[in-house]
Every structure is written in C-alpha cells, then in structure tokens.
Amino acid sequence: MKIVKTIEEVRECIREWRREGLSIGFVPTMGYLHEGHQSLINRAAENDRIVLSIFVNPMQFGPQEDLASYPRDLERDCRLCEENGVDLIFHPEPEEMYEADFCSYADMTVLTEELCGLSRPVHFRGVCTVVLKLFNIVTPDRAYFGEKDAQQLAIIKRMVRDLNIKVEVIGCPIIRERDGLAKSSRNTYLNTEERKAALVLYGSIQIGKKLIKDGERDAAVLIKAIKEYIEKEPLAKIDYLKAVDAMSMSQVEKLDRRVLIAMAVFIGKTRLIDNFT
C-alpha cells in the first residue's frame, strides 16, 4: 500500500494501472475511519485496485462548524486500509487541493436546497467541488458512498449525470452499532449520557417503519409521530425531520413513490444524521 500527498503522485500511479488495463475503485473519506468506511472498501474490492482519499475538506465546513476539532487519526486509518486491501491512500494538505487564489466551484441548485442544505448553506458547494476535483484526479471506474449521507449521495449522482462524468457512483447500506446508532466519526463527540440519548434516532426510525408497514401513507402523520418520539428525549433537538422524494429531495405529502425520511438531530452539541426509505 502506498501513501501519497500530491496530485501528481496519484496520477502517476493511475497511469501505470491504466497501462496494465486495471479497474479502479475509489472511496473518498475525511478519515477517522470506522466500520462504515470499511464496508465501502470491501465493496470496492470488486475492482482491481482501490484508492482511498483522506482529506478533511475545509470548503464544506461553515464558520461555526467543527473543522478544527474534527477527529483525525492517520496512523489508525492507514492500518485499517492496509488490513482491508487498499492499494493507494491519497492524503493531501489543503494547499495541494486549493491554490491560494482558488475561485472555481461546482455548485448545484434544487437538490441542495432542502435538508442539510438549509442548515449548512455552504456545505454542498464544498462537497461537490472537492468530489469533482477528486474524480478528476483519480479518474475511477466506480466510486463508493454511504447511504447514511443520503442527500449527499443523491447530489453526487446528479452531478455525475449532469456533467457527464465517467464514473459509476455506488451507494452502500448504512452500517450501525449493535444498538442501532448509525456509525459516524462524530459519535466520538458524545459523552456517556449523550451516547445513550442518541439512540432516539434509531428508535424513531423503528416507529416510522412500523407505521409504514401498518399502511400509513400520509407524510404529515408519519413525521408527526417520529417528531413526538424524538422530542421525548431531553438531550435531543431536531434540526430537520422531513419526508422527501428520494431523487429530487423535494418534500412530499404522500408516500406514493420512493420516499426518504431524513433527519438531523442535535444530541447536546453534536449533530447526527440518519434516514430510511
């Protein structure tokens, strides 16, 4: 396994693999890897070579967000990657990815105007820009993203379609702790009491799934029941909780198509997201 820090080193490696006729799978991450990332790496093993990026992208963090405190552990990340068959880690510094006078962005409307896009207005411009740059650098055949970030996945799929990027974007299932909490690097921010309170997200999903199984198709009724369940937890504060079309991210009144029930909930100061369809 190689660890490189420059764009040219990545491109040199990719050129060599392409000359050999090898397929390339790509897993973009911000590091502090967990079992969710591991599942993406394992899925990427369907390719001849696996590239994983570790880059805490400053462009997708707002002024009051946790860029400086975002958890990092490169040594541990490299160990997990080597154990799971990653061939190349791209770990650039921000200066390698963004020139001092950088002023070109990948921006999107419609899909970014709901859910996380409302409460984090700069977030998806940063996500789209860095993912587009990484696609241009790595030129993978396939790229792998977790379905926990459902809006992000939909946005990247649309960007790839709209801009005719030659890469297959593959969504992979949410990986959860044994008690149901979705795996997230931000789970490390939770103290013992908050960690227990965070289970309200998974509990609310179970409430929603049962209602749907029992025949409920009114989105307002569904959201009201989930909201009431979450609000019983004193440490939980809802950022958003909505039923949206899984493709367009527009809000829906009826569950008459593939609908995403998405939520962002603060547990103390930690913002967690989860969803189900």
Query: 259-267 and 270-276 as β-strands: parallel, antiparallel, unpaired?
Result: antiparallel
Contacts of 225 (CB under 8 A, 6+ apart): 207, 208, 211
| DSSP string of 32-49, one letter each residue | ---HHHHHHHHHHTTSSE
Q: Can you tell me the distance from the alpha carbon of 274 to that of 186, in angstroms, rounded to the nearest whole number? A: 13
Pick the closest to residue 53 from 26, 15, 79, 18 (CA basis): 26
Coil vs helix vs strand at 98: coil
The answer to whether the beta carbons of residues 84 and 120 sit under 8 Å apart is: no
- Cα 2 to Cα 121, 137, 162, 168, distances in angstroms: 36, 16, 33, 24
Catalytic residue among 34, 37, 91, 123: 37
Establish whether 91 is a catalytic residue: no
First to last CA, the chain: 37
Tell me, what DSSP letter sits at residue 173?
P
The answer to whether the beta carbons of residues 273 and 263 sit under 8 Å apart is: yes
Q: Which H/E stretch holds residue 172? A: strand 168-172
Q: Can you tell me the distance from the alpha carbon of 50 to that of 140, in angstroms, rounded to the nearest whole number? A: 9
Radius of gyration of the chain (CA): 19
So which residues are the catalytic ones?
A: 37
